[in-house]
């Protein structure tokens, strides 16, 4: 017994490829924005820590920034992978839908209009 059977919801799957593609574009745009921000902030942090600021506080700040930067890079990579996967998924649904429509049309063998 599935969760959908328990809730009484319809179990039909409905996919709107344009919405899937839009979500993929959103993920890609978000990754791009985050990458730009990370690069800009990285340059500012580099000028701050590479300048006259030295000592334990500067070292601690630089270590914290490195951790933040690494985490940001991982998030960007995941968003880019998600965007790519969503684009492929949308294209696959469109191709399968077109193939199914062609098969149904061939079965009907309707006369031309």
Secondary structure letter of residue 15 according to DSSP: -
- N- to C-terminal Cα distance for the chain? 47
In the predicted model, what is the mean pLDDT of residues 49-69? 92
* Domain at 31-97: CATH code: 1.10.287
> Cα(22)–Cα(26) distance, rounded to whole angstroms?
6
Where along the chain do its domains lie?
A: 31-97
Instruction: Give 65-109 pLDDT, tens digit per residue.
Output: 999 999 999 999 999 999 988 888 878 878 888 888 887 877 776
The number of beta carbons lying within 10 Å of the beta carbon of residue 95 is 11
Helix axes 56-108, 17-49, angle to 10 degrees: 170
């Amino acid at each position: 017994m599935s969760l959908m059977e328990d809730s009484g919801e319809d179990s039909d799957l409905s996919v709107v490829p344009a919405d899937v593609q839009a979500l993929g574009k959103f993920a890609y745009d978000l990754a791009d924005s985050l990458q730009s921000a990370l690069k800009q902030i990285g340059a500012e942090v580099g000028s701050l820590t590479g300048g006259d600021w030295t000592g334990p506080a500067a070292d601690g700040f630089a270590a914290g920034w490195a951790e933040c930067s690494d985490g940001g890079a991982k998030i960007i990579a995941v968003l880019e992978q998600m965007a790519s996967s969503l684009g492929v998924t949308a294209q696959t649904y469109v191709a399968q839908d077109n193939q199914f429509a062609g098969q149904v049309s061939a079965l009907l063998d309707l006369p031309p209009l």
